[in-house]
Structure 1
């Protein structure tokens, strides 16, 4: 764990005389070697945005080389997996790069903050450890008991905390020379639970995507990154941990759990940037901050967001209403809506697939909801005398990053023209080589260099628009319904927010398919619950024309992925198995 420094320590500088190189290295180790010749680095802050530790890239490299020699002396060989619980701090950073220098493969694994309890966390970690089959598992001291219990399922894996491990001898040793096509690390996608998929990412794929990342953002010498994103998720690991090294940029970090306690500390750090700020978040991060600033709060006196050049948005569906609420809340503090930078990506393509050009902000495409659901077309709403026009706002996520191609295909694999909704396929140098030791899953999504992302979307003049996950689609009487539409409808009712609702399809006792909605309920009054059920049914019927099954469940019941996103598929499984118990209708 981080300890407060005993002296008044300055952050690493934003600017550096070292010539900027945009990830043009053969390996990740080469990238750190170069960054370490400059004066930039990482900076770690506590929940109150107080500096705890500055950590130059030179210090990171020196510590990583010691860890590499320690690992080699401990018998860790080239290609061995070393699982690391990804706590935000210098210990994880040094060990991650130490594993890379040693020729082994680091495997970042999640912290327990996104799980329902101790047993759920142990099960998640156990499944991922069985998948990656590590020689060594390292964790922060406070989590060692849980991690050791999870690792007990692997007879050949040793589990230690990194404080005690760092006391082992580190005699001088020759380091292996990595090649650009070697595997750099394994990344577990946020949906990896019962059947985890370890994405194998080569140095070449990683550095290509880091180049795409920086060039698409038009990186500048006075850019500084601010991040609270977890290091076990691709946006946090690749975009906010590895990219600053490969592109030589100083970073200010707020741990994810500290952001959850004090989200506005994120904006405090951005306000202090002495140049231009770059920072990224899923939609819910912007939502939390906008909700924390009440109408009585003087945002202009608390924050200066005028230098926030890139406010990246991705990792889940981008909601224009939430983005507008953030603008409304923080425009008085100098925030510009043009700073928003929508993107689309996934771990199987390292990180970024598409990015909007900086400065364009959120661009939405208004499409006829009836065509979107029924015919699979995304066309502008048309006035209908017999029926009021309904539309859905789809966010433009930009064009493919350099060297990559996006195609939309139907279920038969045929190319679809613009504004026809189908499965999103991607090809390019950042695509994974496959899932680790899982040829069946690899073959199911990767063929001839083309990745089936599992997402549904459409193209307009080369710009990708994502409408949802194929596996989440609700099909009733041959008509497609997107769960986000149902969930957003309910969120318009008083007292609900994003993440309170999960929509999916079930088979009723009569054998018919029907939409079901699990709604986290905070009232204990039976009459209020009854009224709430009817209000939800009425709202969904108005929006979709369907009668749905409404189940009220206790707060904090709906499951999340390791990155904090709602998992509809897991919610459905837990509901059907009886593990999620709704409130009694009569209660």
Structure 2
């Protein structure tokens, strides 16, 4: 790794220094709903975070403690996040339940997380508090009441004490929606290094405004939407992800109104705005300020990119704005990125050569069966990437294998999981990403995943999340459910499909599908796109009895989706 010297040793150092600009300083602007704007200038944010820290200290939160955030994007989240960090505590953010009418699955998720992290406090909404049983050993804090204290100028304030680099800054949980949590520990030095890498790669500056809807409980939303702008000293405009899903044109209008230069989203979002936004919703919109339309968090589809750029260049979007990147929570966020003003590059490679020989061999551009793999860019400054075979031996360019990286932004490990941490490291300090890909001309291409994660709209889910939820339904055979992701041709994101063994008669299948859909949606927040009911002993297994997800996907999902079937 090459030497990297971040301009600030932590995000808090950056925030405090930028706050000294006072009335000339930048803002975090929260837009919880159209017509409602909550600006937090950096100097005011430091003061409110200090008062929030004092209030959290009264609940017993201190240095080294964990604090779980279950909040929508808003000023309550932002002030409490920095307030916790001022105490030396580590925030961990999770999503709010979709609806608290069916919160049984969420209760289990939260209890698992609390049992794992042993947080000093959980900060959430009154609706969640009212719907939850008491959590032993953990204070449950009303976010609105905490925010009121933070904004009261006469409330006591905690002294602003800046952290050391090896102090932990936050814990990012990677377990998807439910299932066993796995907390990625990110130090202040890790986070500062990654922000330095990111702002250098794409040219972020204090003059730039960021606009983001990506959820703050996701590493991409938190770092690109809030922490990188604070690190660079620029302003940021944040809207809740629920607003984006209901009215995606708002995202584009805010970029136009606030002259946003940076905004990040997963692949599905670019397809979503392309197909869902009507021309009449873009009256007066000017996207010429949008220099970096960052894309990551799920596989990038060239067709999605092409349709997005073709559609919105009519509203001033620069043709070079689309910026593919690759990263993961274990790297804080970014590992590779294309650079500002670079045009999109993707390879068209032979599918059979990739599968049989683990080699990226060029195919004809019109070959319909070829794989189209986007260049996710070169490693950011101070980061190294390599591709290795199954024995850990480095491979040359165009050889497909396991992707590993090392970087000053790399996690120190998983919280309280030393065995999992050790298993993820290839000595001396290479981190196993779990992804499959290859290098070409210095750029990284990702071809697949070593694990069977299901990626829905940029969020990673373990198959067991959905399988366990389905198994709670009477009529579903225990241990005989497989959840897989399937991306239909020309689709912008994966769909969730469940293959379920049952012994119920066919006339009961319709109601069984409805019950499975309800159980999975309630527990995970994801609605299945397909439920494939099959007879007992239909799901393929290995000789040792393990379910074969890839083979089941091929038999019951891909064949059913094939033309003429």
- Residue in 2 aligned with 1:426? 405
Aligned to 2:328: 346
Aligned to 1:315: 297
C-alpha distance 207-141 of structure 1, shift in aligned 2 (>3 A): same
Task: Pick the aligned partner of 2:27 from 41, 53, 60.
Answer: 41
Match of 1:331 among 286, 310, 313: 313
**What are structure 1's unaligned runs of at least 5 residues?**
1-21, 475-482, 510-525, 530-550
The answer to whether the Cα contact below 8 Å between 1:23 and 1:31 also exists between their aligned partners in 2 is no
Deviation at 1:499, TM superposition (A): 3.9
Mapping 1:106-505, distance limit 5 Å: 106-113=91-98, 117-146=102-131, 148-149=132-133, 152=135, 155-165=136-146, 171=156, 174=159, 177-189=162-174, 191=176, 193-274=178-259, 277-294=261-278, 297=279, 301-381=283-363, 390-447=369-426, 448-472=428-452, 487-488=486-487, 490-491=488-489, 498-502=493-497
Q: Give the distance between the partners of 1:255 and 1:450, measured in 2 at CA.
A: 36
Q: 1:177-207: per-residue Cα shift (whole Å, max 9, x none)?
A: 5211111111112636311111110000000
Residues 286 and 316 in structure 2, CA contact (< 8 A), matched pair in contact too: yes
Instruction: Tell me if structure 1 keeps the 8 A contact 2:209–2:234.
Output: yes
Task: Find 2:66's aligned residue among 56, 74, 81.
Answer: 81
Deviation at residue 343 of structure 1 after TM alignment: 0.2
Structure 2 portions without partners, runs of 5+:
455-481, 504-508, 540-546, 548-555, 561-565
1:53 and 2:38 matched: yes
Secondary structure class of the residue paired with 2:56: helix
Q: TM-score, normalised by structure 2?
A: 0.78
Instruction: Please give the secondary structure, in 1, of the residue aligned with 2:451.
Output: helix
Q: Give me the CA root mean square deviation.
A: 3.8
In structure 2, the residue matched to 1:25 is 8
- CA deviation string 1:433-466 (max 9, x = no partner): 0000011111111242211011111001220001
CA distance in 1, matches of 2:100, 2:385: 34
Q: Per the alignment, do residues 331 and 237 of structure 1 end up closer, same or farther by CA in structure 2, a change over 3 Å counting? A: same
Cα deviations by residue, 1:3-55 (Å, 9 ceiling, x for unpaired): xxxxxxxxxxxxxxxxxxx962223321211121231111122443x342111
CA distance in structure 1 between the aligned counterparts of 2:400 and 2:99, rounded to whole angstroms: 32
Moved over 6 A (4+): 506-509, 551-568
SS in 2 for 1:32: helix
Paired with 1:560 and 1:166, the residues of 2 have a C-alpha distance of 29
Going from structure 1 to structure 2, the CA distance change for 1:191 and 1:172 (only over 3 Å counts) comes to: closer
Alignment check: 8 A CA contact 1:47 1:261 kept: no
- Measure the CA separation in 2 of the matches of 1:185 and 1:95: 13
User: What's the TM-score once normalised by structure 1's chain length?
Assistant: 0.75
SS in 1 for 2:44: helix
CA contact (8 A) 2:103 2:522 kept: no
After superposing the two structures, state which structure 1 stretch, 300-309 or 314-323, moved more: 300-309
Is the contact between residue 294 and residue 322 of structure 2 (CA under 8 Å) also seen in structure 1?
A: yes
CA distance in 1, matches of 2:386, 2:275: 37
**Aligned residues, how many?**
492
> SS of the residue aligned with 1:308?
coil
- Whether the aligned pair in 1 keeps the contact of 2:60 and 2:120 (CA below 8 Å) is no
Does the 8 A contact of 1:190 with 1:233 survive in 2?
no
Map 1:549-568 → 2, pairs under 5 A: none
* 8 Å Cα contact 1:42/1:56 also seen in 2: yes
How far, CA to CA, are the matches of 2:235 and 2:40 in structure 1? 10
**Aligned partners of 2:95 and 2:217 also within 8 Å:** yes
8 Å CA contact 2:79, 2:147 repeated in 1: no
Deviation by residue 1:460-486 (Cα, 9 ceiling, x = unmatched)? 122000112111399xxxxxxxx9x99
Whether 1:69 aligns to 2:54 is yes
